[in-house]
Amino acid sequence: MSAVKSKNTEEKAKSFQLVKYFSITSIIVIFIGTLLLSILNAHWVRSMQLKKNQDSALLLVKNLNHQIFIQFFLPVALKYGKIQLRDKEQYELLDTVVRSALHSFNIETVTIYDSKTGIASYSYDQALIGKKFSPNLNFQSAISGEPTSKLIQNGNFFKILLGIEKRIKLVTFAPLKIVKAHPDQNVPTIGVIEIIQDLSEDYASIIRFQILVLSTSSIVMIILLLILIFVVKRGESIIQKRTRERLRLEEKLSRAEKLSSIGEMTAGISHEIRNPLGIIKSSADLLKKKMAKVDPSNNIPDIIIEEANRLNNIITDFLNFARPKELNLTTCHINDIIDKNLSFLSVQTKENGLVVEKICEEGIPEMIADSDMLYQAFLNVFINAMQAMPKGGSIFVKIRHKNNRVKVIVEDEGKGISDKMKKKIWDPFFTTKEEGTGLGLGIVKNIIESHGGTIKLNNRSVGGAKATVELPIRQGA
């Protein structure tokens, strides 16, 4: 039955572990997915921004073309008869028209190329004037009458992918034409306009937005992860607590079942043994009186009486273990009970070369307990400590109190408790002594627990065993 319960407990623990790992993994996957989605959204916004900038650039070029034709080509053609940008007055007029048309727009450079020679006739950058442009697809498309745009990004592949490049420019090539008199008129391309726009600030705002989204997502996910970890830890703590409580209850149930069996067996055995034993003892007493007159040196009656008493003590141990007495609660002091034990054992401790060192904390209050039963319990504890040191040694007794509880620690300098003994030390009838029923510690535990206390047996760090008994000062505390 206990094996089945343990298996069920393990299965529940494994199920909780699975839920825990699944939950944490889900949060991490969602977090990664959110990061990827944020990056994709940022690139989507960048694409929309690029399309918007391209459309804006085409409208800008179209307006510039119109302004150049109306405010420059027509006035210059009427006044001078031909266009010569080498003429300072014509160049300055064109520069005024271009800058006025592009005023308030974030334009880095404007260059106008001759459609036939590809030589720059006008530019914001004076160093480009007179230089020939190396034709490319964008330039050829503009000559053919189709405006085009291209994005120039400075940075490696990863910087461009993440959108953290420092400089971004949009280069637009558009044809420079004579304004049509009517829509169906086919007019030639007289030049190519190149406009370079710096979009770094626009894209930087997108990057800031992207960082804000990523930061917010990260903070939210981290908070969720911390909350989940807290909930998981809390759940583990509750499960462990319930598991310990279940194991403790199972141990008590198993122990109760054993005690019940022992009690039934003891009740039958004690009834069958004690009556004949009483007859044997009384007969031995009578025989001893008669033998004293006939043969005083004969000690057979004494042996019979001694063994009868020993057998009676064994039966008493059985009864005390299987059927603990009801507590007779009175006001008592733990220090008085310990002193009574040590006084009773003083002769034996001196004969066996044992030294008892007792330290009692001041201010320990009186407690409500059965002093006789506690005396019996601590007597067994001291006897075990004495038997652990057959060649002599020291027994250390410490009495303390804290949080409405009294703690009594009894330490010896013996061999300590082996790992094998720890597993069986509370089992009924388990003993390492040649004589004894193996019920002494069981009786001690029953008495301590009946008072609402606990007893623990461990090894000292410097060698020997340590018994720690905790008792409530008031019953039910």
* pLDDT(413) > 80: yes
* pLDDT(113) > 80: yes
Mean of the per-residue pLDDT values for the chain? 79
Domain residue ranges in the chain: 2-198, 326-472
* pLDDT(2) > 50: no
pLDDT of residue 318: 63
pLDDT of residue 409: 92
Provide the whole-model pTM: 0.43
* pLDDT(440) > 50: yes
Question: 92-101, 159-168, 373-382, 465-474: which range is least confident on average?
Answer: 159-168
pLDDT of residue 336: 92
DSSP per-residue string spanning 316-356: HHHHHHHSPPPP--EEE-HHHHHHHHHHHHHHHHHHTTEEE
- Closest by Cα among 95, 61, 81, 88 to 177: 61
Q: Which residues contact 152 (CB under 8 A, 6 or more apart)?
A: 168, 169, 170, 171
CA distance 209 to 206: 5
**CATH architecture for the domain at 2-198:** 2-Layer Sandwich (3.30)
- 454/261: higher pLDDT: 454
Residue 169, beta-bridge partner list? 152, 198
pLDDT of residue 340: 92
Q: What is the pLDDT of residues 137-150, one digit of tens each?
A: 888 888 888 888 88
- Closest by Cα among 376, 377, 451, 367 to 406: 367
- Closest by Cα among 393, 418, 417, 424 to 466: 417
CA distance 406 to 364: 8
Q: In CATH, what class is 326-472?
A: alpha beta
* pLDDT(204) > 80: no
- 120/443: higher pLDDT: 120
Q: How confident is the model at residue 1 (pLDDT cuts 50, 70, 90)?
A: very low
- 392/436: higher pLDDT: 392
pLDDT of residue 4: 46
Please give the share of the chain, as a percent, with pLDDT higher than 70. 79
Tell me what the mean pLDDT of segment 90-110 comes to: 87
Tell me what the mean pLDDT of segment 273-302 comes to: 73
Tell me what the mean pLDDT of segment 32-43 comes to: 77
pLDDT of residue 431: 58
